[in-house]
Structure 1
Amino acid sequence: MRAAVLQETGQDKLEVLDDVETAGFGPGRVRIRVRATGLCHSDLSAMNGVLPQPAPFVPGHEGAGEVVEVGEGVTRLKPGDRVVVCWLPACGACPACKRGQTELCLAGFMNAGTPNFKRPGAHADVFGFAGTGTFAEEVVVDAGCAVPIPDDVPFDIAALIGCGVTTGLGAALNTADVEAGSSVAVIGCGGVGISAIQGARLKGAAEIVAVDPVASRREAALGFGATTAVSPDELPDAKQRITAGEGFDYVFEVVGRSATARTAYDNTRRGGTLVVVGAGAMDDFLQLNMFELFFDEKRILPSMYGGGDVVRSYERTVALWRAGRIDLAGLITHRVPLSGINEALDQMRTGTALRTCIEI
């Protein structure tokens, strides 16, 4: 089958190969025919080494498709079922799951070091990013990674729900629990940031400031619920104009860098909430002094995969989409076949795309 493979960490181009096979099918596993997958910034971060991932690997973790085959012991799925790929399934038995923090379950990471694919030759093992690897025509995953979706949800919409939309919406709805009438700033307005903006709008935020260096993203943010859109250089003026210099009630950092996290902290009011959504590097440290931590009493809330039960978040997102309360189709600004993956990567690097749908 065809799959897009990164041979070595640090390379900026993928090779679309036709000699890749799935690996690891057996009891408790399912084979999925991928129909659509989204290009998430985390895929770029894995390619350049910001996020740890063994290579060679197939990127992609935001996908949807149809079940082709189920392994022994799999009873809740059958061939033909439409599913979204969940890269962080909950085991239901670990301490985090028992506490109701299923987004912190580490069971999904246990397969990250096991190859999902293989190729002919001496170096046959090929991994899948985050234990999945959806830039391929088929993928084999644990049954828990395949979450059924209703028949009326298109594959491209379902793919977005698999990561970016769930992460951004959940940051506002679950982690921050934005208060109605509050002021919000969102730093980084790609697909995840736009979803955070939509979540803040749903919660009734009075002011939502979109902050991004790319003009097209700022313009797009206004169509998704932002009341103001500014470049990073314009943020101080927006802070003064909207909050009289006090700072915003909630600031979402959706970039994954210490510099923007520091900016987010500085623009959060005393007693306000900074929500860290972006996935950053292990060697990128955010510096805060002990006095400001004590004196400002700002809450710093990391948000992992939307900070809530993932399957319930999927269901909520579908319900909101059906009701017309959120716009998911509008997030997809580019569509490419698998053969156009490198062009899509370049678009994401330059910030000209909110979300690219790869149709497989």
Structure 2
Amino acid sequence: MRTATRGAVVRQAPGKYEVVELEVDDPRDNEIQVKMVASGMCHSDDHIATGDCPVGTYPMAGGHEGAGIVTKAGRNQKGIQEGDHVVFSFLPSCGHCRYCANGMQNLCDLGAGILAGPRWTDPSSYVLQMPDGTPVGQMAGISTFVELTTVSVDSAVKIDDDIPLDKACLTGCGVGTGWGSAVNAANVQPGDTVVVMGIGGIGINAVQGARHAGASNIIAVDPVAFKREKAQELGATHAVDSMEEAGELARQFTNGQGADSAIVTVGVTTGEHVAQAFATTRKAGTTVVTGLGDFSEVGLPIAISELTLFQKRLQGALFGNSNPNYDIHRQLELYKAGVLKLDELVTRTYTLDQVAEGYQDMHDGKNIRGVILY
């Protein structure tokens, strides 16, 4: 059976999100249906609208950072039942592929299908459709910009009922991606000097992660004064508007050596951004590239000799190199203990019908994180 619902879709790229009537499948075995409570508005969904990030199906229902309450549950190996509170992980984890078995759930083989649109277990089947029967793609297999969504339990993490879902939703992408970029990918150590380039929903959490890991100097870089101020509120020791100034500060703090790590979390990342971050790091330093840009862009303007002779490391980071079934719980425990700041990340809340306005605010530099409340 199908149930009527509403959701924000992109019909083509480039395009804009519009709210439309939809129909959603009942859950099959190992699926659950969830009434959404909150959804973060991540830049990656905007990449779909601009066409920087191509997807396999249009129209595509957006949203990949969300939390809600289970309304229907098929038989499933996780034991998730009606009434349970869940956070979605935008990257599923099957638990038994090579990567899951090695503790690298963020690289689970199921992730290959998150931009395709249909169920990854059945490419001929779509969870969502228009009332006229037109198939609608499901972003990351979850589509959190939909009031009622059906998802695989491989994408759901059950959490305690006392955690506010409008804050917990942020751990499904932005918090884990940024925090993990510092803690896991950059392997920040006590006393380190860290540069975070780009202070949006990801970069602000890289700042938090570096602080938790014990960095002595955390240099936040962003041209928007509001974002620099927010970075200092959440743990940055310094905030500047250019990478040139960040590099100079890092060398001052390290007797001329440079930063131990630089984390690139720019909303639309280019090769030049990576090169600027690479230049700020010391010998044997690490540059972590977390931001996304145009998928067709190739090439990094860095000197191979500097990479080789200075033994520097370039490290990609997907979902902060995290294990969502563990790390989401860990981050929520830090939140409950008052260590990880989630409330402070939400700049403004929106209704589903304001999704386009929310993304315009993001482009205008007004938001750290916008959240849709249902």
- Same fold (TM > 0.5): yes
Counterpart residue number, 2:227: 217
Question: Contact 2:346–2:371 at 8 Å: present in 1 too?
Answer: yes
SS in 2 for 1:51: coil
CA distance in 2, matches of 1:235, 1:71: 52
Question: Contact 1:275–1:303 at 8 Å: present in 2 too?
Answer: yes
**Quick one: which amino acid aligns to residue 265 of structure 2?**
V
1:101 paired with 2:111, answer: no
Give TM-score scaled by structure 2 length. Answer: 0.91
1:5 paired with 2:9, answer: yes
Counterpart residue number, 1:351: 365
Question: Contact 1:109–1:131 at 8 Å: present in 2 too?
Answer: no
**Quick one: which amino acid aligns to residue 146 of structure 1?**
A
Q: How far off its partner does 1:242 sit?
A: 3.3
CA distance in 2, matches of 1:314, 1:246: 35
Counterpart residue number, 1:183: 193
Q: How far off its partner does 1:75 sit?
A: 5.7
Cα deviations by residue, 1:221-248 (Å, 9 ceiling, x for unpaired):
0000001000025334434443454321
CA distance in 2, matches of 1:55, 1:242: 50
**Structure 1 residues 72 and 312: CA distance shift in structure 2, 3 A:** closer
Cα deviations by residue, 1:18-72 (Å, 9 ceiling, x for unpaired):
x211137322211111110000011111211222213211110000000111124
SS in 2 for 1:161: helix
Counterpart residue number, 2:265: 254
Cα deviations by residue, 1:120-174 (Å, 9 ceiling, x for unpaired):
226x111121222110101111112121011121111111011100111111112
Counterpart residue number, 2:128: 117
Cα deviations by residue, 1:193-239 (Å, 9 ceiling, x for unpaired):
11111111111111000001111000110000001000025334434
CA distance in 1, matches of 2:351, 2:153: 27
CA distance in 2, matches of 1:236, 1:97: 37
CA distance in 1, matches of 2:156, 2:212: 28
Counterpart residue number, 1:29: 31
CA distance in 1, matches of 2:39, 2:312: 37
CA distance in 2, matches of 1:270, 1:24: 55
Cα deviations by residue, 1:271-315 (Å, 9 ceiling, x for unpaired):
111111112333222233332221111111211111121111111
Cα deviations by residue, 1:49-102 (Å, 9 ceiling, x for unpaired):
222213211110000000111124456111110000112121122111222222
SS in 2 for 1:301: strand
- Name which of 311, 314, 334 aligns with 1:300: 314
CA distance in 2, matches of 1:264, 1:73: 44
Question: Contact 1:4–1:15 at 8 Å: present in 2 too?
Answer: yes
**Quick one: which amino acid aligns to residue 87 of structure 2?**
V
CA distance in 2, matches of 1:248, 1:48: 33
**Quick one: which amino acid aligns to residue 205 of structure 2?**
S
CA distance in 2, matches of 1:234, 1:325: 29
Alignment of 1:30-109 (within 5 A): 30-53=32-55, 54-73=57-76, 76-109=79-112
Counterpart residue number, 1:230: 240
1:322 paired with 2:342, answer: no
**Percentage identity across paired residues of the two chains:** 37
- Name which of 326, 347, 353 aligns with 1:339: 353
- Name which of 146, 163, 168 aligns with 1:158: 168
1:138 paired with 2:148, answer: yes
CA distance in 2, matches of 1:72, 1:325: 36
Give TM-score scaled by structure 1 length. Answer: 0.95
**Structure 1 residues 179 and 75: CA distance shift in structure 2, 3 A:** closer
CA distance in 1, matches of 2:76, 2:184: 34
Deviates more, 1:146-155 or 1:57-66: 146-155
Counterpart residue number, 1:15: 18
CA distance in 2, matches of 1:181, 1:237: 18
Alignment of 1:252-291 (within 5 A): 252-255=263-266, 256-285=269-298, 286-291=300-305
CA distance in 2, matches of 1:180, 1:298: 20
User: Unpaired segments of 5 or more residues in structure 2?
Assistant: 119-125
